[in-house]
Amino acid sequence: MTEYRHNGKLITFEGCEGVGKSTQIRLLGEYFEQRGIDALFTREPGGTEVSERIRELLKDDDLDMCAETELLLFEAARYENTRRIIIPALEAGKIVVVDRYIDSTTAYQSFGRGLDRETVEKLNRYATAGVKIDLTVFLDAPPFANTTRGADDRMENAGAEFHDRVYEGYGKIGEDEERFVFVPTLGDKYATNARIIKLLEDRGII
């Protein structure tokens, strides 16, 4: 597997449905902008036209698919985003912030759908093309919001038990990963934002 040499930093955001991930990413973006910090923001599945189209398939509540197909589609979207968007930005020395990355796949497709964890992690490694994550911010709150949103979103509508398994899964993923930091997110959004900024400073990312 290729090892990339670059001065960039890769930060991933993870969390269950409706825990305020988008808000925290937006607040961090505003902070970077105020400070003139060169960063690239992307999301998964998404980031390129192909990946955004795969995202539509994955979210379409009218479609039914095998869990394995779902896994491979998330990984396909990831490879495109990693190769075409994330790696070039890291090589240009940028901070790259990804809204969901490999831990989402382990949490949702392995713990949630019940697919073999080793297989999922092997595919995660393949789809990330050898890129290393510097920090994962896990916004730690139970998935209480998923059922109230009532969106016509195939993943959000996977059921309360599914989303509980995802939350438990994140807890287990975080146990063995030094890069993975649990950030409680039920309080004031600005306090959470300040905590994340401090974390980035402590880890030498900014």
Rounded CA separation 151/70 (Å): 19
Residues 6+ apart with CB under 8 A from 148: 18
Helix (H, G, I), strand (E, B) or coil at 63: coil
Cβ 116 to ligand TMP shortest distance, Å: 15
CB–CB of 109/33 below 8 Å?
A: no
Helix (H, G, I), strand (E, B) or coil at 61: coil
Instruction: Name the residue nearer to ligand TMP (CB basis): 38 or 56.
Output: 56
Cβ 199 to ligand TMP shortest distance, Å: 21
Instruction: Name the residue nearer to ligand TMP (CB basis): 24 or 104.
Output: 104
Cβ 74 to ligand TMP shortest distance, Å: 4
Instruction: Name the residue nearer to ligand TMP (CB basis): 156 or 196.
Output: 156
Instruction: Name the residue nearer to ligand TMP (CB basis): 9 or 100.
Output: 100
Residue 132 backbone class (left: φ over 0; alpha: ψ -120 to 50; beta: rest): beta
Q: Which residues bind ligand TMP (CB under 6 A)?
A: 17, 43-45, 74, 99-100, 104-105, 108-109, 155-156
